[in-house]
Every structure is written in C-alpha cells, then in structure tokens.
Structure 1
Amino acid sequence: MELSPIGRAALRSREGDKLVAYLDSVGVWTIGVGITTASGLITVTKGLRITQEQSDKLLALASEKYAQPVRSAIKRPMTQEQFDAFVSICYNIGPAAFKGSTFVRRFNAGDVEGCAAAILMWNKPAEITSRRRAERDQFLSSYAKNLPKARDTDAKPVAAPAVTQVAKPAPAAPAPAPSPAATPAPATAGGLLAALLSLFIKKA
C-alpha cells in the first residue's frame, strides 16, 4: 500500500510545512514537513532554508521511508484509512517505537478496537494528545463518510486534495481506404481493329 493523497494532506497538516529550520516542541531542529536529521534525508541545522519544491521532495521520500516499517510490521490486511493513520504515527514516533508498540501487537492479533485504544497511549508530550486522537479517529473512519482532521480539536477536517483530470486524446480518425487503381481493360481483337480504323479515317 501507499500513503493516499488524503493521508498525505493529513500528515502535512499535522506536521506543518516550514521552509526555515526551527526547534520543535522537544528542542530538535526540524524543517519542511517535520523532517529532522534523524530521518537520514537531510542534516537540519540552525539557519537552514529550503524551497517549497525541496520540501515536497523531502515529504515524498519521508512518506515512503515511514510507510515501509508499517508494511513490514503489520501482518493483517489494512484499510487505506488504517494504513494512512499508521504511517502518520510512525512518522511521528519512529520505526523502532512503531514496531514495538502495543497497538501494532493488538492489530496483528485481530483486536481493532484494542489497537485504537492503544494508539492513545502515545500521549507525550501533552501537546501531541489532540493529534493522537485524530490519528485514532482516522484509523477507525471511512474517507467516504469523514475526512480526517489534523487534530481532533480542529473545527474542520483537512482539505481533500484536488484530483487533476488528464484529458485523453481523441482517437484518430481512420484513414480513408485507398481508391483502387484503375485497371486498364484488356485489349481485344475487336477493340484493336476499331482503334486502327479510327486512326485510318483521321488520316484520310
């Protein structure tokens, strides 16, 4: 599975997207969509600046980096909503913590409700709690009915990403069938005689 466009939009809303390095809530230099040096994708230091294009590329790389541990740790089929919520959590707590978590163990045992409850165990620092509840809600939801929120205290869900429609080229009109070449009528004795007679009359 891959992180869906809705899942990516929720992740971006939860992490923010800053083009200048900043200290996060626990004092770690961070840039882009929650990217730190620990990601292995970039060394983040004070004063670092990136472009929006670079931030988008880092998010794409980081999304895949944190989706892979989800694929390997989860042993049962997932809905897209469950996968997206798991990637968001893994992005935040890291692959090692994700793989060793109670909620992963419960999900693999078939206890979906117990898994949802265990997601809320990851509630430190305190300001992460509203995000974790939103991830729990995303895990239990259906995008067809409700889009996820960045935090459960938000008034509105994340905006659904626009789907770009690519117009299909119109099929080419079939080429007209070539006209059959005129086939000269075979010469006959009568026809040859008439031609000679006509030529003789013209000369007379």
Structure 2
Amino acid sequence: MTTMPPGAAIPREIHPDALALVRHFEGLYLKAYLCPAGVPTIGYGHTAGVRMGQIITSLQAEVYLRADMADAASDVDRLVTVPLTDRQRGALASFVFNLGGGALRDSTLQRLLNQRDYAGAAAEFPKWVYATVNGVKKQLDGLKKRRAAEAKLFETA
C-alpha cells in the first residue's frame, strides 16, 4: 500500500472529454512518423524521446497521452489564476498540448481568463488556427475544427 506524504494533494484528473478530444484530433499512430514540423512523433502526438522506427502498443500510446496531458494541465494550473471547471481545464490542456505552454502564457486568452472574462477567453480559441507550412502562415481546417471543439468543451457546464 502506498501512502501520500502529509499535505500532498491528489493530482486532479484530466476530464475524459478532453482526452477524447485529443485522441480524435491527434489520431493514433503506433509507428513513429515525422509530423509536419519534422519532429518524430508517435501515439497521440507524443514527441519526447521518440525515435524514427520506434513502434509502441496502444496501451503505451494511452500512457503517453495521459502523461502529456498531465504535463499540459500542470502548465494550465500554473498559468491560470481563476477557478476552472474540469472541462475548462481539459480544453485548455488540449490547447497547451497542441501549442505549448508559451502560447497560453503569452495569449489574450489567458489574460482575459485571469480577469474572469470566461466568455471573452472562449472567444479567443478560434484565433489559434494558423500554422506555418513551408514557410507560409496558413489557416488549417484541422486546427479550426480542433479550436471549435476546445471552445465548445470550455463552454460546457
């Protein structure tokens, strides 16, 4: 039996809808591939320590996903100073998983949210739909759909 140190908090779970959202938009790849940015990637968008030629199981992909989302949620917890529902936190964790903590840290979304303007923050998701492809900034349909899904999850009571 494991015991928690005195004063330790139980880690807050990632909302299942947020995990499902990331699974849907990342897709499952059991063999490493190069993402559009040229980074070796496997599972549901996992990049840390991935080598080309690497193969994993679907269980390992799920372990990576949960760890990566826990890391993203940790960034959310550090950057957001107002109360969040589990779905709001999950939507923001998906955003950070996809874009990185720096994107949230430097965003109007985070500034509005920390001013308790939840509706204004939700309206910021659709602005994050651009990626640089071959040196050109382009609006991507996949990002439009992902941001719309994150905003919807964020706004769900």
TM more than 0.5: yes
**Structure 1 residue identity aligned to 2:13:** E
**Matching of residue 64 in structure 1 with residue 75 in structure 2:** no
TM-score by length of 1: 0.63
Aligned pair partner of 1:10 in 21, 43, 47: 21
Is the Cα contact below 8 Å between 1:7 and 1:84 reproduced in 2?
yes
Q: TM-score when scaled to structure 2? A: 0.80
**2:107 corresponding residue in structure 1:** 101
Secondary structure of residue in 2 paired with 1:69:
helix
Counterpart Cα distance in 2 of 1:35 and 1:87: 14
Contact 2:21 2:149 in 1 (8 A): no
Q: How does 1:70-149 map to 2 (within 5 A)?
A: 70-125=76-131, 126-127=139-140, 128-142=143-157
Deviation track 1:125-164 (CA, whole Å, cap 9, x = no partner) reads 222111111111111123xxxxxxxxxxxxxxxxxxxxxx
**2:156 partner letter:** S
CA deviation after TM superposition for structure 1 residue 103, in Å: 0.2
Segments of 5+ residues of structure 1 without an aligned counterpart are 38-42, 143-204
Aligned to 1:35, the other structure's residue is in SS state: coil
RMSD value over aligned CA atoms? 1.4
Gaps of 5+ in 2: 1-11, 132-138
* Partner Cα separation in structure 1 for residue 103 and residue 78 of structure 2: 14
**Displacement after TM superposition at 1:50 (Å):** 1.0
Q: Please tell me the residue identity of whatever aligns with 2:115.
A: A
Kept in 1, the 8 Å contact 2:17–2:87? The answer is: no
Flag as ranges the 4+ runs of structure 1 deviating above 4 A.
none
Equivalent residues of 1:66, 1:91 under 8 A apart: yes
When you count strand as a share of all residues, which structure comes out higher? 2
Letter in 2 for 1:17: L
Identity of aligned residues (%): 34
